[in-house]
Amino acid sequence: MDRNEELFHVSSMFRALLKNISQDWNKTSAGKYNLTFPQFQVLYVLKMRGPQKVSELAEALSLTPPAITGLTDKLFAEGYVQKERAEDDRRVVNITILDAGLEIIQKVKRDQKEMIQGFFDILSEEDIQHLKRIFSLMLSNIDQHKG
């Protein structure tokens, strides 16, 4: 296989892995917590980065602003986030995670620990470190090309 075919194959495999992780999530956590994987991702980004504009969340999660609005509306209804319009520009909406959102992250992380370990337990510690290094390089390269 030439390099382009190899890269296409790797990206296809990666998408399949993410799809399987998402499906397992939906089987184990979506019903239990009334929380989809994308909603959890929004909460997690807010936990890690602090309050975010809708546009910032959209960029961080590679989603559209309308998709983020739909996700955050549901999170707001559950009491996991606060939405505030910016004083200087009423079109801008800032999203902040609330204590209930932080608590649900902790509960989900405890429950998901086993599922995530199941996906990665076949890998050695060295393999995991290689994945971290590779993903960090790729994400850094993506960030550099966006700016």
pLDDT digits (tens, 9 = 90+) for 51-101: 999 999 999 998 999 999 999 999 999 999 999 987 888 788 899 999 999
Query: Which range marks the domain in which residue 53 is found?
Result: 3-121
For residue 37, CA distances in Å to 27, 94, 123 come to 11, 21, 24
How far apart are the C-alpha atoms of 52 and 32, rounded to whole Å? 27
Q: Does residue 29 have a pLDDT over 80?
A: no
Q: Number of folded domains in the chain?
A: 1
Q: Specify if 74 maps to a domain.
A: yes
Asked if residue 86 lies in contact with residue 94, where contact means CB atoms within 8 angstroms, the answer is yes
**Threshold 0.85, pTM exceeds:** no
- pLDDT, residue 78, reads 95
Q: Specify if 127 maps to a domain.
A: no
Rounded to the nearest angstrom, the gap between the alpha carbon of residue 93 and the centroid of all alpha carbons in its chain is 20
Q: Specify if 133 maps to a domain.
A: no
Q: Specify if 116 maps to a domain.
A: yes
Identify the CATH number of the domain in which residue 15 sits: 1.10.10.10
Q: Specify if 147 maps to a domain.
A: no
Q: Specify if 130 maps to a domain.
A: no
Q: Which residue(s) pair with 95 in the sheet?
A: 52, 83
Question: Where residue 5 falls among pLDDT bands split at 50, 70, 90?
Answer: very high
Q: Specify if 28 maps to a domain.
A: yes
Asked if residue 92 lies in contact with residue 53, where contact means CB atoms within 8 angstroms, the answer is yes
Q: Specify if 135 maps to a domain.
A: no
Mean pLDDT to the nearest integer, 99-116? 88
Q: What is the dihedral of CA 115, 77, 96, 49, to 10 degrees?
A: 20
Q: Does residue 39 have a pLDDT over 90?
A: yes
